[in-house]
Amino acid sequence: MLTGVERLVDLAGFQKSDLSGRTSGEVDGALRSNELAKLVATDQHFAAVAREGQTVRLARTIGRPLRYFVAKMHHGPFLVVSDRIDSIFEWCREQKIGWQFDPAYTRMVPAHYLVELDQIGCPDPSPRYHRFFTPRLGEGTADIEEAGSVYVRAAYEALKRWIADLPEDELIAVAFSGGVDSTSVLLLAQLALEELQRDASLLRAFTLDLGGGKDAAQAESVARDLDLHHQWEVVRVSAERLNHQDAIRVIEDYHPLDVECAAVALCLLEALRERHPTIKYLLDGDGGDENLKSYPLEDSDLTLSSVLKNPLLYHEGWGVDAIKHSLTYSGGLSRSYVRTYAPAKRYGFESFSPYTARSVIAAALAIPFEQVLGGNVEALYSLKQRVVRAGVKAVTGVDMPVHPKQRFQDGAGGPRKLRIGKAWCRQVFLRQWQERLRDSWDSEEQRVSGNAIPASAPAMIA
């Protein structure tokens, strides 16, 4: 292989969102020297990559996607790292090796892992995975009032740290449905601003209405009950602007529920950007369902036992050693958080949910779910409402109104005929990439052999 050639191409750079516990420099140093304990000591979000000799290390949390691709050129493997598949492909096109690329060849770094890769040539060795987040399970109280207080207090502390790091005069938007998670985030953000002695009127709640949905009426009712209606705004958008094909392109995935959610999010954020061009910071309640396992089991092949026996199932999927784990996408919220991250990035928002912080996930997983539920599925379906309402009361003193759970894409409204299936989503995804890859395959000018050595590369070959 060529010596003197840097074969790590980092297109993402160090990413963070109110990183605490360690500085960015310390996280970078921890990756270079393989000090897992320093990553364990962090909270909030980061994504980073560093090299030590022939070994490249990558790590990320749920809130910051990070993926990589091994390109073959200059007589050695080049590791290309980015938060997006398409930016990796564009780099390959610039090097005229786009014909090597396939989106399925990219790999997502699974959340809560440090991944090690050795750049030693063909065949490429398998990555090594090291966990840096191992929460203690079921060791907390089974009392709903106490468990709620611990859980929501953790969310409040994470949210307060995030707000404290923002410029004091910045507006903060909340994606607000009037559901349990978004209402709790609104109330906690209000309290945080007051305790930080900042102007609480800088907090604004926005609800999308595509027509015929329940969220607008629900959100208005909740905002009035909480005397926050003067900080609330409904964003009415024609359902004709709902574009699932665009959503697939933006999130680079084809899981139908994530595509539907992203399509609705794109409608909200596009309209919000048009109305309020200066707003940069965006809060939501993503992760709240995963933390308290608030998903209907009837919509999947899951059972109550499989959910409780796999505590991080909704956060990480079945795990890196499982058959069902996707190398291209990871699993659970580690995969699906792109539905939040990518739409926000497209329209220039910096998004955050306190329910995705590891300290908050740990507080949720400390709840002894089996003892609390006693094998009752219906008890699971009401658990989040009970825990969060109790916690919000303990932290803020407010009796939070609670409404039945519904998904973002359902509450926003619009014609239900737009509900889509996985086969259709996957066909659209593949067709989009077929169109992108065609030029790289058909054009001789875009097809450079991996054996080609650029004139700028050193002549010495080891």
Q: What is the pTM of this model?
A: 0.93
Q: Which range, 295-299, 324-328, 446-450, is most confident?
A: 324-328
Residue 7 · residue 76 · CB < 8 Å:
yes
**Is 90 exceeded by the pLDDT of residue 261?**
yes
Stronger pLDDT, 77 or 413, i.e. the higher one: 77
pLDDT recorded at residue 315: 97
Indicate the domain borders of the chain. Answer: 8-133, 144-424
What sign has the CA pseudo-torsion 433, 438, 443, 448?
positive
**pLDDT over 90, % of the chain:** 79
Alpha helices in 45-128 (DSSP H): 85-94
Whole-angstrom Cα distance, residue 245 to residue 424?
10
- DSSP assignment, residue 341? H
**pLDDT over 70, % of the chain:** 93
Where does 144-424 sit in CATH, by number?
3.40.50.620
pLDDT recorded at residue 452: 77
Which is nearest to 122 in space by CA: 70, 169, 162? 70
**Is 80 exceeded by the pLDDT of residue 443?**
no
pLDDT recorded at residue 48: 95
Residue 206 · residue 233 · CB < 8 Å:
yes
pLDDT recorded at residue 5: 65
| Residue 216 phi, psi (nearest 5) | -60, -50
Whole-angstrom Cα distance, residue 283 to residue 189?
9
Beta bridge partner(s), residue 305: none
CA 410 vs CA 12, 180, 209, 230: distances in Å: 33, 15, 10, 25
Whole-angstrom Cα distance, residue 13 to residue 119?
19
CA 198 vs CA 61, 163, 193: distances in Å: 29, 10, 5
pLDDT digits (tens, 9 = 90+) for 99-135: 999 999 999 999 999 999 998 877 788 999 999 999 9
Residue 377's H or E segment, with its range, is: helix 377-396
The whole-chain average pLDDT of the chain stands at 91
pLDDT recorded at residue 413: 58
pLDDT recorded at residue 20: 83
**Is 50 exceeded by the pLDDT of residue 335?**
yes
pLDDT recorded at residue 414: 60
Whole-angstrom Cα distance, residue 361 to residue 358?
5
Q: Averaged over 240-261, what is the pLDDT?
A: 96
**Is 50 exceeded by the pLDDT of residue 393?**
yes
Beta bridge partner(s), residue 116: 57, 128
Whole-angstrom Cα distance, residue 319 to residue 306?
13
The 10 Å Cβ neighbour count of residue 325 is 17
Residue 86 · residue 126 · CB < 8 Å:
no
Which is nearest to 363 in space by CA: 398, 325, 394? 394
**Is 60 exceeded by the pLDDT of residue 181?**
yes
Q: What angle is formed at CA 13 by the lines to CA 11 and CA 14, rounded to 5 degrees?
A: 155
**Is 90 exceeded by the pLDDT of residue 388?**
yes
